[in-house]
Amino acid sequence: MNSQRPPSPQEAAAKPVASLKEVAQLAQCSVSAAAAVLNGVENNTRVSQPTRQRIEHAGAQLGYRRNYLGSALRTGKSHVLGLLMNTGQPDERHGGFWSKFLAGIDQAAHARNCNVLLISADAANDELDLGERMLNGRQIDAMVIPSLFYQQRKDAISRITGAVAIAFTLLHGGKHPCIGLAHDSAIREAVSHLAALGHREILWLGLASHGIEVQAERRELFDAACVGCGVRSSKHLLDNVPQNKGPEVYIRDCAERIESILSRERPPTAIFAYNELVAFGVYHVAHARQLRIPDRLSIIAFDDIHGHLATPAMSVISLELHELGRQVGELALRLAYEPTMVQDVARLQLIPTRLILRTSCGPPSRS
């Protein structure tokens, strides 16, 4: 019995590559339309959806592959979106806090037929210098900078020219547009929920770095919400929690510091935690001291990464990281490919965070 074997990699590579002209003929469209869809050139949104679908189908049927170097030389574009990354441990870049953000960035790049390049420091240069050099050398068309890492480099970032978009918080005095987060509504809703359950005081369990509170603006919104709901607010900051030693060390360090809070004669009945890892430290200590959640202690944390895996499932304020990544990636590429829209871009655009109530909140124990 004869069976047709699949072609070897060498045979597949030797197979003639379909041209744009052949794709256009099969799709019954112009060569320029085929190029716009398959090569990601500027203004490809002008191609109608039915024509786009015919072109994509024809390209797949003929096995069309874009000539990357030829496209770059012809358009002056690399079709690459750069993302600065400095998270300490290399394996942390692909999980935890950043996984959803990266997925959103990738979705925005894919919609423009672009690739994403993670830019990190090498032995001779930090990632900010490398990113600027790549942008100037047209190795990348646009760049996203997460401001969480670069608050002390705002002057250097302001000197960068080209298509740059900032994620998370607007750099004071910076010239590049930013996609940030609006926490006020979700924090008010969370505090109101705890107040309605009967809690009369809520502890803010935050972070500090060398004595300086991290993201104090969140806590200020929390304090204002407590005043508005008629409940007392208190604050405890965990200073210099190790950031780059993995989540297990992070949680264990938080738990050791939280022990003194939950060992009080009258421990708090409700805690607002800076993030899920801090909250996991609270879970650990509460379990050890037989403070059942939510019977004896209610918890709400920021993020929305692992909280659903906790027992009981953790109530959170989701930072909408996927949508943040998608919007900031889209903004950076629009700045690169639609330069006429630069004057119309708002300097700061905000995405509202979202309260997700699970089973970690309940009425305070009467005992």
Q: Are residues 213 and 158 part of one domain?
A: no
Residue 229 lies inside a defined structural domain of this protein: yes
Residue 360 lies inside a defined structural domain of this protein: no
Q: Which domain holds residue 106?
A: 80-181+322-353
Query: Last residue of a domain, which of 276, 300, 319?
Result: 319
Residue 338 lies inside a defined structural domain of this protein: yes
Q: To 10 degrees, what angle do helices 321-337 and 97-111 make?
A: 40
194-213 per-residue burial string, b: 16 or more CB within 10 A, e: under 16 = bbeeebeebbbbbbeeeeeb
Residue 291 lies inside a defined structural domain of this protein: yes
pLDDT tens-digit profile, the chain (367 residues): 444 444 444 444 445 678 889 999 999 999 989 888 887 654 455 788 899 899 989 998 988 877 666 666 566 688 899 999 875 544 454 457 888 999 999 999 999 889 999 998 887 888 999 999 999 988 999 999 999 888 888 888 988 999 999 999 877 667 899 999 999 999 999 999 999 999 999 999 999 999 999 999 999 999 999 999 999 999 999 999 987 788 899 999 999 999 999 999 899 999 999 999 999 999 999 999 999 999 999 999 999 999 999 999 999 999 999 999 999 999 999 999 987 777 777 888 999 999 999 999 999 986 5
- Is the Cβ–Cβ distance between 255 and 281 less than 8 Å? yes
C-alpha span between 194 and 50 (Å, rounded): 51
Structure tokens at 52: 């786009």
C-alpha span between 54 and 61 (Å, rounded): 10
Q: Are residues 297 and 190 part of one domain?
A: yes
Q: Are residues 201 and 137 part of one domain?
A: no
CATH code, domain with 33: 1.10.260.40
Q: How far is CA 119 from the centre of its chain?
A: 16
Please list, in sequence order, all residues whose beta carbon lies within 8 angstroms of the beta carbon of residue 93, skipping any fewer than 6 positions away. 85, 87, 102, 118, 120
β-sheet bridge partners, residue 194: none
- Is the Cβ–Cβ distance between 238 and 252 less than 8 Å? no
Which helix (H) or strand (E) segment holds residue 3: the answer is none
Which phi-psi region, left, alpha or beta, contains residue 336 (left: φ > 0; alpha: ψ -120 to 50)?
alpha
Number of structural domains the chain divides into: 3
Q: Are residues 312 and 189 part of one domain?
A: yes
C-alpha span between 77 and 74 (Å, rounded): 8
C-alpha span between 307 and 247 (Å, rounded): 13
Residue 362 lies inside a defined structural domain of this protein: no
Q: Are residues 107 and 85 part of one domain?
A: yes
C-alpha span between 280 and 238 (Å, rounded): 14
| Helices assigned H by DSSP within 30-158 | 31-38, 49-62, 68-75, 97-111, 127-136, 154-158
Residue 358 lies inside a defined structural domain of this protein: no
Q: How far is CA 100 from the centre of its chain?
A: 6
Q: To 10 degrees, what angle do helices 49-62 and 31-38 make?
A: 80
Q: Are residues 187 and 177 part of one domain?
A: no
Residue 1 lies inside a defined structural domain of this protein: no
Residue 17 lies inside a defined structural domain of this protein: yes
This prediction has a pTM of: 0.80
Kindly tell me the number of DSSP H helices and DSSP E strands found in the chain. Answer: 13, 13
CATH code, domain with 284: 3.40.50.2300
Write down the pLDDT at residue 4: 45
Q: Are residues 131 and 21 part of one domain?
A: no
Q: Are residues 281 and 191 part of one domain?
A: yes
Q: Are residues 241 and 149 part of one domain?
A: no
Query: Last residue of a domain, which of 75, 92, 110?
Result: 75
Query: Last residue of a domain, which of 75, 97, 117?
Result: 75
Nearest C-alpha neighbor of 209 from the set 176, 163, 242: 242
Nearest C-alpha neighbor of 255 from the set 288, 277, 273, 282: 282
C-alpha span between 139 and 132 (Å, rounded): 10
Q: Are residues 103 and 26 part of one domain?
A: no
Which helix (H) or strand (E) segment holds residue 118: the answer is strand 115-119
Do the bridges between strand 232-239 and strand 315-318 make them parallel or antiparallel, or are there none, so unpaired? unpaired
Q: Are residues 166 and 125 part of one domain?
A: yes
Q: Are residues 188 and 174 part of one domain?
A: no
- Is the Cβ–Cβ distance between 348 and 182 less than 8 Å? no
Nearest C-alpha neighbor of 238 from the set 267, 265, 260, 218: 260
Write down the pLDDT at residue 173: 64
